[in-house]
């Protein structure tokens, strides 16, 4: 009974309240990021959601659009702004996804929505991560975040789709708050993004 009806009701209510409570922070970040990114405060990108349906995820823009002489975007470490590094450090760039949750594209808890270009690379097991709405945080995020391998991440994502419950969601939510506060499981290397997924060996 919890999934999908109660879960969706919880998502809608929590995201609505969250947007109201965080509105002062949202407004301040819009101003700061607009200054840092030449008027662009948000980053929108197509991502696959439940049943691989495509939606546009919305995040605060942490990197500028500077390119090299060939018109290619510069590496991550050369494009991230000081404001962008700060909001990533405290996961503030994820706040606008509350609007995705309110709309119904995402859930508060679920597998993180990855890139559209990865869809043809998944095997049948990995595709199960799309059996539910993607989340702002999830089981993989509290069990390693971007410090674990793709194989481990997919196993954790699929585990969640097969064990959804109110108890599990509350546990993930509380542990997410703890990990963000203490900045745990964040790759300390120059490129804090996950490496590109290239499929299975």
**Ramachandran sector of residue 51 (left: φ over 0; alpha: ψ -120 to 50; beta: rest):** left
Over its length of 201 residues, how does the chain's per-residue pLDDT go in tens digits?
677 789 999 999 999 999 999 999 999 999 999 998 888 999 999 999 999 999 999 999 998 888 888 878 888 777 888 888 899 888 899 999 999 999 999 999 999 999 999 999 999 999 999 999 999 999 999 998 777 899 999 999 999 999 999 999 999 999 998 887 776 655 444 445 678 899 975
In Å, what is the CA distance from 113 to each residue of 36, 104, 146, 159?
Answer: 26, 14, 13, 16
The answer to whether 56 and 47 are in contact (CB under 8 A) is: yes
- Quick one: pLDDT at residue 190? 41
- Quick one: pLDDT at residue 13? 96
Note the residue count of the chain.
201
* pTM listed for this prediction: 0.88
- Quick one: pLDDT at residue 76? 76
The answer to whether 47 and 115 are in contact (CB under 8 A) is: yes
Nearest to 35 by CA among 82, 71, 70, 96: 82
């Amino acid at each position: 009974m919890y999934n999908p009806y109660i879960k969706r009701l919880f998502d809608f209510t929590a995201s609505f309240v969250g947007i109201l409570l965080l509105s002062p922070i949202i407004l301040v970040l819009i101003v700061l990021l607009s200054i840092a990114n030449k008027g662009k405060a948000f980053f929108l990108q197509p991502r696959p959601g439940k049943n691989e349906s495509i939606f546009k995820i919305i995040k605060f823009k942490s990197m500028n659009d500077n390119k090299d002489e060939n018109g290619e975007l510069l590496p991550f470490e050369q494009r991230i702004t000081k404001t962008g590094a700060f909001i990533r450090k405290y996961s503030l760039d994820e706040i606008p996804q509350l609007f995705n949750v309110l709309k119904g594209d995402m859930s508060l808890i679920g597998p993180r929505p990855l890139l559209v270009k990865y869809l043809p690379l998944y095997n049948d097991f990995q595709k199960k991560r799309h059996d539910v709405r993607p989340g702002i945080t999830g089981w993989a995020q509290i069990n390693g975040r971007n410090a674990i391998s793709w194989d481990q991440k997919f196993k954790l994502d699929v585990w969640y789709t097969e064990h959804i419950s109110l108890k599990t969601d509350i546990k993930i939510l509380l542990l997410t708050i703890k990990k963000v506060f203490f900045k745990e499981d964040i790759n300390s290397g120059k490129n804090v993004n996950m490496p590109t997924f290239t499929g299975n060996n």
